[in-house]
Amino acid sequence: MEKISRLIDSTVLKADATAKDIEALCLEARREEFRTVCINPCWVSYAHTLLAGSSTGVCTVVGFPLGANTPAVKAYEAAQAVKDGADEVDMVINIGRLKAGDDDYVRDEIAEVKKAVGSHTLKVILECCLLTDEEKERACRLCVEAHADFVKTSTGFSKGGATAHDVALMRRVVGPEMGVKAAGGVRSYADLEAMVEAGANRIGTSHGKAIIDSKK
């Protein structure tokens, strides 16, 4: 397994997060060498400054948490995030459009956001707890066709988070080259290990330090 800290996007997405919360997150991430901090867009510029010169990048979210913004808004939000210093963008798909079978809409939206972020990493949040297995498979195929870099299980704001079943399904569909991020409910080293064994190569969690400490 890759060094544990390099698998982790250390996450604070709560609505009441303050500048002090973001500062604490970034200082911890620098010390632990987490892959990224994952924060709301309003904090990207601040986090980028705090993490300058470190091995930790800045990740933010787009169309979060419902995925129901228009494609143009998602693309603008993603482009602005990159301009502010984001290295990675996690977008939420339009779940209703996917469930209605509007594959062209979903694919085109992902492609539009990928174009907006350019060479930066785009992860696509499927919100698996709201989808059937067939819908998850279809969503994964659309992400591959739209040239996203990762598929991601969950926002952490709906009725369920990551499961090993969903991670394994996503890995099977997208193949070995594309990233799979497990997020939502990963709180211990055992949780992380189960997700990695199922096929995840990135973990989104607000319990990163506890996971590291439990392994020591």
By annotation, the residues acting in catalysis are 90, 152, 181
Q: What are the φ and ψ backbone dihedral angles of 125, each rounded to 5 degrees?
A: -85, 120
Is the distance from CB of 151 to CB of 124 less than 8 angstroms? Answer: yes
Q: Tell me which H or E stretch contains 31.
A: helix 19-32
Measured at the CA of 20, the angle between CA 15 and CA 24, to 5 degrees, comes to: 100
Is the distance from CB of 85 to CB of 59 less than 8 angstroms? Answer: no
Q: Tell me which H or E stretch contains 44.
A: helix 44-50
Is the distance from CB of 136 to CB of 126 less than 8 angstroms? Answer: yes
Q: What are the φ and ψ backbone dihedral angles of 181, each rounded to 5 degrees?
A: -110, 125
- 200 vs 193: CA distance, rounded Å: 9
- DSSP helix/strand/coil, 62: strand
- DSSP helix/strand/coil, 126: coil
- DSSP helix/strand/coil, 108: helix
